């Protein structure tokens, strides 16, 4: 793609994480291209191209299974907080900046120096306007320009700082650290849908545990999940539980297994939901499962004003929380039917996590692990059932009864 742009007479650079990660010997997650071609010109060059974005107009080009983002150079916003071309809200957050520019203008609107390196396909050189190569070598995360202003323009950069520091094992520049501590409240000004996107990047990229520690260190986690944060402060066991879950998530990512935000949200919600559920039960008569489900529903609602979690995640999350009391029961048909529940796996994983943090009886946890490997007959025995439930073979069920009679 770089070559095609270049051959058509445009400038074409690889930029951002692709250059940074390659310099660090890491495998880049995705590739971003910067060019002086306008989005319409990019579209004319590539068949499989879509123009997207409101705040930034970008070309997305499908390349095999990947989507490569092609951005036209944009004019700098340096010193232009009140510039008429760039739209800000009353707190200085950029709402729209679609003013095209040149590469030496474009560089100033990038966030960190390590993200502002341009690899030129014309001669394979790296263009470094901001000392980014040096900062990569020294493993420093430095904001371009005045940190306060850059964080005001886009408070999500605070989360990006933490995410990159965790992923790259970089130290956040002291001036940036100071500015984060000063400006973190501005995150409440960011659209919750964008924070959900950022939440996914922070917690599903394989560095969730370190990211979490840094978010807590800078008191940013509170800005995203206030009630979870409060529960973490009051309850060491919940802190251990959360850390274990994050470490497990990172291991799964490293092993290229699938991860779902639903599970991690269930973890974040567990302690605050358990607490509100108890309160609900002290006021009204309802089952533990009902109270957990209702408490999770209410917390999801309150959470939407910070990080808006799509319903396709909150619905199953509520289910796996409300299923937890069912693991306390190990006798009878209803207990055995839990194994067939479509959320059994996730609910079981949550229960196992609880048992590793003294929140559930390990012996009972082992029972639930064992029964999964048993055949129908063995299961009936485990759940103290005289008869195999409907759906299992009659012959097996009879055989089971006969044997028991013989033994007696
Ligand atoms: P990764 O893809 O590994 O998460 P990245 O650095 O490529 O890291 P992207 O979100 O893909 O990050 O963005 C690509 C580039 O666009 C960044 O390197 C940076 O130069 C610029 N950029 C992205 N988001 C912002 C932002 N909020 N403020 C300023 N520049 C940004
Ligand atoms: Mg990228």
Q: Out of 111, 113, 203, give the residue to mutate to test ligand 1, the one with the largest number of ligand atoms within 8 Å of its CB.
A: 111
The Å distance, Cα 111 to ligand 1 centre, comes to 7
Q: 37-67 burial, b for 16+ CB within 10 Å, e for fewer?
A: bebebbbebbeebeeeeeebbbbbbeeeeee
* CA-nearest residue, atom 15 of ligand 1: 16
Atom of ligand 1 nearest to the CA of 16: 18
- pTM, to two decimals: 0.89
Atom of ligand 1 nearest to the CA of 163: 4
Q: Which two tokens stand for residue 195?
A: 């924070």
> pLDDT at position 54, please?
72
CA dist 273 and 98 (Å) reads 43
> pLDDT at position 65, please?
85
The Å distance, Cα 110 to ligand 1 centre, comes to 7
The string of DSSP codes covering 286-328 is --HHHHHHHHHHHHHHHHTTTS---HHHHHHHHHHHHTGGGGG
CA dist 123 and 11 (Å) reads 11
Q: Crossing angle of helices 362-371/344-356, nearest 10°? A: 150
CA dist 228 and 213 (Å) reads 14
Using CA atoms, how far residue 60 sits from 51, 95, 106, 119, 398, in Å, is 6, 21, 19, 19, 63
> pLDDT at position 390, please?
60
The Å distance, Cα 85 to ligand 2 centre, comes to 26
* CA-nearest residue, atom 22 of ligand 1: 110
No. of helices (H) and no. of strands (E), the chain: 21, 11
* CA-nearest residue, atom 26 of ligand 1: 111
Which residue blocks in 304-393 are alpha helix, DSSP H?
Answer: 311-322, 333-337, 344-356, 362-371, 376-382
Domain coordinates of the chain in residue numbers?
A: 1-137
* DSSP 8-state class, residue 188: G
Which residues have a catalytic role annotated? 30, 32, 111
Residues paired with residue 312 on neighbouring β-strands, in sequence order: none
CA dist 142 and 146 (Å) reads 10
Q: Split the chain (408 residues) into runs of 10 and give each run's mean pLDDT.
A: 97 97 93 95 93 85 90 72 60 70 94 98 97 98 98 97 98 98 97 98 97 98 98 96 97 95 97 97 96 98 96 96 97 94 97 94 97 93 79 47 41
Whether residue 132 has its Cβ less than 6 Å from ligand 1: no
Atom of ligand 1 nearest to the CA of 32: 14
Residue 119's nearest CA partner among 142, 103, 105 is: 103
> pLDDT at position 47, please?
87
- Closest ligand to residue 110's CA: 1
Instruction: Tell me the CATH architecture of domain 1-137.
Output: 2-Layer Sandwich (3.30)
Q: Crossing angle of helices 156-168/192-203, nearest 10°? A: 0
Cβ atoms of 63 and 1 within 8 Å: the answer is yes
Whether residue 357 has its Cβ less than 6 Å from ligand 1: no
Neighbours of 305 (CB within 10 A): 10
Cβ atoms of 183 and 148 within 8 Å: the answer is yes
Max CA separation in the chain (angstroms): 91
Q: Is 100 helix (H, G, I), strand (E, B) or coil?
A: strand
The Å distance, Cα 31 to ligand 2 centre, comes to 5
Q: Which two tokens stand for residue 211?
A: 């990211």
Residue 264 has φ and ψ, to the nearest 5°, of -65, -35
């Amino acid at each position: 793609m770089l070559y095609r742009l270049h051959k058509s007479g445009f400038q074409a650079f690889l930029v951002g994480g692709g250059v940074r990660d390659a310099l660090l010997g890491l495998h880049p997650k995705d590739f971003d291209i910067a060019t002086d071609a306008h989005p319409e010109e990019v579209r004319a060059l590539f068949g499989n191209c879509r123009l997207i974005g409101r705040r930034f107009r970008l070309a997305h080009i499908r390349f095999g299974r990947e989507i490569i983002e092609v951005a036209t150079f944009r004019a700098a916003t340096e010193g232009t907080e009140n510039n008429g071309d760039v739209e800000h809200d009353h707190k200085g957050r950029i709402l729209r900046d679609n003013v095209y520019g040149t590469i030496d203008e474009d560089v100033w609107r990038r966030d960190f120096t390590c993200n502002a390196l341009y690899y030129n396909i014309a001669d394979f050189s790296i263009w470094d306007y901001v000392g980014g190569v040096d900062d990569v070598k020294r493993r420093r995360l430095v904001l371009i320009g005045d940190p306060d202003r850059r964080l005001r323009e886009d408070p999500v950069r605070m989360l990006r700082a933490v995410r990159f520091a965790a992923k790259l094992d970089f130290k956040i520049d002291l001036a940036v650290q100071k500015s984060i501590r000063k400006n973190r409240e501005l995150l409440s000004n960011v659209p919750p849908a964008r924070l959900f996107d950022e939440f996914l990047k922070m917690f599903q990229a394989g560095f969730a545990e370190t990211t979490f520690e840094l978010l807590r260190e800078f008191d940013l986690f509170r800005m995203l999940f206030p009630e979870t944060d409060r529960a973490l402060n009051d309850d060491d066991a919940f802190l251990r539980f959360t850390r274990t879950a994050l470490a497990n998530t990172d291991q799964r990512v490293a092993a290229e297994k699938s991860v779902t935000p639903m599970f991690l949200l269930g973890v974040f919600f567990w302690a605050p939901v358990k607490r509100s559920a108890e309160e609900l039960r002290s006021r009204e008569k309802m089952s533990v499962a009902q109270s957990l489900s209702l408490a999770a529903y209410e917390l999801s609602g309150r959470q939407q004003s910070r990080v808006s979690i799509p319903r396709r995640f909150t619905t199953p999350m509520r289910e796996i929380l409300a299923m937890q009391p069912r693991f306390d029961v190990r006798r009878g048909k209803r207990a055995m039917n839990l194994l067939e529940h479509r959320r059994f796996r996730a609910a079981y994983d949550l229960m196992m996590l609880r048992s590793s943090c003294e929140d559930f009886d390990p012996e009972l946890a082992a029972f639930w692990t064992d029964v999964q490997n048993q055949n129908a007959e063995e299961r009936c025995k485990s759940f103290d059932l005289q008869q195999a439930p409907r759906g299992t073979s009659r012959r097996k069920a009879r055989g089971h009864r006969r044997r028991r009679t013989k033994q007696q």
